Amino acid sequence: MKTNTTPLLQTPVSGSATKYETLGYVDAHDGVLDCDYAFLAYKETNRDNGQWRVRIKSSQTAGTEFDPAVICAQSRVAAADGQSHFIWGYSFEPSAADPRQIEFRVYVVNDEPQEIEIFVRLRNADHTAAPPKSLRFPWPS
């Protein structure tokens, strides 16, 4: 199994208009494709008005954006439905032929977002499911 010592993705450099803060990074190797997947989460804040969002950037798949107003509204819906979390943005669901699973999950407590999780399960070279990798970090306040 490959282990990356240098991250495959970097947080953008903050500038005069936008501030970037790293929230987390996780990578995994797919043995079938012999390919590394990397996921980087960061907070992006507009220095002029203070508005922010969370972004997840991916090296091999689509990433996603978490707009606070939209995520707070969806958190209330999930809580009303009795869900502890919901999946947001890009996802890859496992099937009988392909055990890969990629999800960006938002965990909800008391109608509010509490954590984001990047959940990744790829494949061993023999097409079986590799052990999952997960990164959880607090919802920014």
pLDDT at 4 over 70: no
pTM score, whole prediction: 0.91
The residue behind tokens 């607090």 is 138
Distance CA 131, CA 7 (A): 20
CA–CA dist 31, 58 (Å, integer):
18
Residue type, 113: P
CB 28 within 8 A of CB 34: no
Asked if the model's pLDDT at residue 45 lies above 80, the reply is yes
82: left (phi over 0), alpha (psi -120 to 50) or beta: left
For 6-10, 106-110, 120-124, 134-138, which range has the lowest pLDDT when averaged over its residues?
A: 6-10
CA pair distance 44, 36, nearest whole angstrom: 25
Strand order in the sheet with 85-87: 85-87, 101-109, 112-121, 133-138
What pLDDT, on a 0 to 100 scale, did the predictor assign at position 1?
A: 46
Answer whether residue 115 shows pLDDT above 90.
yes
pLDDT tens readout for residues 13-43? 999 999 999 999 999 999 999 999 999 999 9
Residues 102-107: what's their mean pLDDT? 98
